[in-house]
Amino acid sequence: MIDEIEKKAIAVIAQVFETMFFTPVAVQQGESEDLYSPIKSFSAFLRGEIGFEGKHCGTLILSVPVELAKTMASNFMGLEEESASDSQAVDMVNELCNMICGNLFSQLDKKTVWNLTIPQTREVSGQAMDAGNGDQAMSVRFNAEGYPVQLQIQFTPAA
């Protein structure tokens, strides 16, 4: 199940980033670290979370460096580079979570009604994006404009 979701997640990430944010992505495959070199440094990232409930339940978490989030928000809104505000960057990450989660699960199973929560985003200092672990988690790392971005899905075990 997780392999199928991961494949679909990679396709959805590319579709969302390229269609609405004009930002091509390169997905890290296997253990290769090539994706991250050269890599731009960042001081903090925005961590967006959205819950989903349907055939599977859990939380989708997206971590985006603040600098990249502002550039993407500018692209998204058609503004000059660096002119997006902090709140616009947060709003953009919320919308990214919404688009990735909604598309991912509806493409996986159109027959199921997927209920999504309202996304929430907060700023986290440092560069350490928690990769998650265990059988009930999936993590995809990719490079967008030289910055690392991470999508993580944590599944809630069935009761």
Partner 1 sequence: MAYNVLIVDDSQTMRKVIRKTVSISGFEIGDCWEAGNGREALDILHSCWVDLILADLNMPVMNGLEMLRELKKGELHRHIPVILITTEGSEKRLEEAYALGIKGYIQKPFYPETIRDVLTRIMEETRD
Give contact residues for partner 1 (rule: CB under 8 A).
15-16, 19-20, 54, 73, 76-78, 88, 91-92, 94-95, 98-99, 101-103, 106-107, 110-114, 116, 118
DSSP 8-state code for residue 66: H
Find the shortest distance in angstroms from Cβ 68 to partner 1. Answer: 15
Find the shortest distance in angstroms from Cβ 44 to partner 1. Answer: 20
Q: Give 26 or 113: the residue with its C-beta nearer to partner 1.
A: 113
Rounded Cα distance between 17 and 25, Å, is 7
Cis previous bond, 157, omega within 30: no
Q: State the DSSP string of 4-15.
A: HHHHHHHHHHHH
Question: What residue type is assigned to position 142 of the chain?
Answer: F
Rounded Cα distance between 8 and 107, Å, is 8
Q: Give 84 or 129: the residue with its C-beta nearer to partner 1.
A: 84
Find the shortest distance in angstroms from Cβ 152 to partner 1. Answer: 18
Q: Give 101 or 149: the residue with its C-beta nearer to partner 1.
A: 101
